[in-house]
Amino acid sequence: MAAQTEEQTEHTVRPFDLFQVTVKALQRLSPSFIRVTFEGDDLGHFADNGYDQRFKLIFPAPACGFDKMPTSERWYSELRALPEAEQCGVRTYTVRAVRRHLGEVDVDMVVHEAHSEDECGPALRWLREAAVGDRILLLGPDARWEGAHGGIDFHAPEGAEILIAGDETAAPAIAAILEDLPITARGKAFIEVPEAADVLELDAPVDVEVVWLPREGAAWGDKLVPAVAEAARAMDFAKQDDRAAGAAGLDEVDPVEDEMIWEAPEAVAAADAYVWIAAETGVVKALRFTIRKELGLPKESGAFMGYWRNGKAWD
């Protein structure tokens, strides 16, 4: 899984690979968002796939930095087999921008208040002390791979009305999606953030309305759930006869209350409407119930993703 060089043979190239990078710049976008620009010699090979491309940041282990970071294809299981102090922290983020000609990648990270050590994960601990020149690892798509990389969950069919929604953890992904939409796209995007000062200027097609929902002390989802549910009820998800099919397989109560949710089918059916929602798991489940069970959105026409779970380390 080590970063590839030109001298390596073709068969060693993989869809995702490790890139050794350093922090080039830190930009405070708002009270809750910091943009981190990474630079590295190998980032000229970091694929620029757009939309909500996922990748991983790998943070140094408390006891040994990156000295014991595995590089095989089984890197994750090998990493978790190490003593806890020797394990590098791993978190998933969305690529905000790629400048391959400069060897740079931007990532927008959320800074939040942690009420306990359990809520303070490796990303937040690293970000609080981050400085220009700090070393880190990126596990991301390698442009030298000729096939599909994976890690993209937005698959709106051409011409469909879109409904996009998320909290601050999904704001970077939503921003990237909006920038990559065709100019003919139409629909709405809802973004719930901690406060009004977190509202950012985004580039969206003229017929895609962007609605910011500052919580200002309210609980997660208090603003997002009713706003998105109201917008969903105004959309034509399916013909009345097809609504039972849209709800097929969706239990009225999830079998495990604390179970994370991740439904993002790549094979998307042609449809008049498409939904992409990412936020705290409980919020996503509530909206999924309304949109799929009550309104009949077919499973192949929407992505519902729990980016984090309340009460746990959610960076």
Element (H, E) at 302: strand 302-308
Which of the four pLDDT bands, split at 50, 70 and 90, describes residue 294? very high
- CATH code: domain 161-308 is 3.40.50.80
The pLDDT of residue 2 is 45
- For all residues of the chain together, what is the average pLDDT? 88
Lowest-pLDDT range of 26-35, 205-214, 221-230, 237-246:
237-246
- Map tokens 């998320």 to a residue: 166
The model's pTM is 0.89
Q: Which of 78-87, 138-147, 251-260 has the lowest mean pLDDT?
A: 251-260
Residue 251 has pLDDT above 60, yes or no: no
Q: How high is the pLDDT of residue 71? A: 87
The confidence score (pLDDT) of residue 266 equals 85
When pLDDT is averaged across residues 274-278 and rounded to a whole number, the result is 97
pLDDT digits (tens, 9 = 90+) for 29-42: 999 999 999 999 99
Domain residue ranges in the chain: 10-141, 161-308
Least confident of 176-185, 186-195, 241-250: 241-250
Taking alpha carbons only, the member of 152, 98, 92, 155 closest to residue 121 is 92
Question: 10-141 has which CATH code?
Answer: 2.40.30.10
pLDDT for residue 9: 44
- Does the pLDDT at position 261 exceed 50? yes
Which residue has 């909006």 as its token pair?
Answer: 178
pLDDT computed for residue 238 by the predictor:
58
Handedness of CA 205, 202, 149, 164 (dihedral sign): negative
pLDDT at 25: 98
Please give the Cα distance from 142 to 13 (Å, whole number). Answer: 8
Q: Edge to edge, what strands does the sheet with 302-308 contain? A: 208-214, 186-193, 161-166, 273-280, 302-308, 262-263
Per-residue model confidence as pLDDT tens digits over 40-74: 999 999 999 999 999 999 999 999 999 999 988 89
117 pLDDT exceeds 80?
no
Split at pLDDT 50, 70, 90, the class of 312 is low
DSSP state of 261: -
Closest by Cα among 287, 279, 277, 276 to 306 = 279
pLDDT of residue 299: 87
Pairing of strands 54-59, 135-141: antiparallel
Instruction: Report how far apart, in Å, the C-alpha atoms of 25 and of each of 22, 130, 134 are.
Output: 9, 10, 10
pLDDT band at 120 (very low <50, low <70, confident <90, very high): confident
Residue 115 pLDDT > 80, yes or no?
Answer: no
What the block records as the tokens of 154 is 């937005």
| pLDDT score at 121 | 85
Pairing relation of β-strands 186-193 and 208-214?
parallel
Q: How far apart are CA 259 and CA 309, in angstroms?
A: 9
% of the chain residues with pLDDT over 90: 76
Q: Which residues contact 113 (CB under 8 A, 6 or more apart)?
A: none
- In whole angstroms, what is the distance from residue 275 CA to residue 304 CA? 8
Please state, in angstroms and rounded to a whole number, the distance separating the CA atoms of residues 93 and 54: 6
Through-space distance between the first and last CA atoms of the chain, rounded to whole angstroms: 24
